[in-house]
Amino acid sequence: MKNYSKPKTDNWQGRKSTKNLYLHEKVKCVPLDEIPEPPKKSITLLGYACDKGVSRNQGRVGAVDGPDVIKNSLGRFPNHLPSAVQLYDAGNITCTKGDMEAAQAKLTSSVCSLLDKKQFPIILGGGHDVAYGHYHGIKKHLDSKKEGKSIGIVNFDAHFDLRQNTQNNNSGTPFYQIAQECKEEHISFDYLCLGIRKDANDRSLFQTAKELDVTYVLTDTFQIQFLDEINTWINAFIKTVDKVYVTIDLDGFSSAFAPGVSAPSPMGFTPHIVLECLKTIIASGKLISVDLAEMNPKYDIDGQTAKLAASLIHHIMDLQFP
C-alpha cells in the first residue's frame, strides 16, 4: 500500500502481567485496511510519519520518527480502558520521496475510513501539516453522511499556522489552506487557538487571524488561574459547531516539559491547563478526533516529550472512554 507502513509489534513493550494491566498488552496491531467495525466504538492509533512540511517551513527535522516513539512510550502506561473498548495500532502514513501532499491525501482517506468504521482516531505526528489531511478526513466522513455537520477546530499551539501557501504548503500553512477552502465552499471557518505567543507570530499572522475571525487566547492568559474564563470561551465556541476536532502541537508546551519538538520555547504553556481544557471539550460529547503534532525524538531528553505525548493520549482515552 503506497504511503503506508504496517504496525510494528516491537513498538509495544513494557512490564508484563497476566491481566492486560498495561497498554502494550491491550493493543492489537492490525493493518489499516483490516481494522474492523466493532459493536462498540473503539480507538485506533495511526501515525503520520512525515516532517517534510517542517523542512519546507525551515524548521528542524526529526518528527518523522515521532509516531513510533510515542507508541513505545504509551505501551508502558497502565490500561484503564473498559474491556469492551478495543485499542488498535494501525501503523503509519508515510511520506514517499518528499511528497507531503500524497501523504496528506492518504491520511484523509484513512481518517475517513476509520470514522466510517466507528473508530475514534488518534493521529500521531509528524509535522503539523498533519492537520490538513486530518481535517479533510473528518470532513469527507461527515459529507458522506450528508448531514451538513460543522467542524470546530481547537488548536493547542504557540503558533497560528496561518502562513499563506503562495510558495508551498508546509507545517505552517494548514489552517490557512483550510480557511481558504471554507471560503470557496461558503462554509464557516471555525478555529479556536489556545496558547498563542506574540513572540512566535509576526504582525501579518495576527492580521490574518483577525481577517479570518479566528478566536485565540494568548499564552499569558492561557494559565490555570484563568481556567474559568478560558472554559467560558471554549464552551461558547463549542456551542457554535456540531463536531470538534482537537489538534495539539507539542511545541506549544514550555520546553521544560517538551524539549523534543520542532520549534522549542521556554515560554510555552503547561500540561495542566491543557488537561483541564480537554476535560471541558470531551464533556461536550462533540469530540470526533484528535492528533498530536511535532514530536521530534532527535531533540528529546530522557524521553520526556514522548512521555508527555503518551500521557496526553492516556488522559484523552480515559476521558473519552470512562
Provide the annotated binding site for Mn(2+): 128, 157, 159, 161, 249, 251
* Rg of the chain in Å (alpha carbons): 18
Q: Which residues are annotated as a binding site?
A: 128, 157, 159, 161, 249, 251
The SS3 of residue 139 is helix
Helix 227-239 crosses helix 271-283 at what angle (to 10 degrees)?
Answer: 40
Place of cell 468504521: 117
DSSP state of 273: H
- How does DSSP assign 68-81, residue by residue? HHHHHHHTTSB--S
In 3D, which of 294, 284, 282 has the Cα closest to residue 318? 282
β-bridge mates for residue 293, sequence order: 249
Contact predicate 189/178, CB 8 Å = yes
Cβ(153)–Cβ(177) below 8 Å: no
In the chain, beta strands by DSSP E: 4-5, 28-29, 42-49, 87-94, 119-125, 151-156, 190-196, 215-218, 243-249, 287-293
285 Cβ contact partners less than 8 Å away, ≥ 6 residues apart: none
* Residue 253 DSSP code: B
Amino acid identity, position 93: I
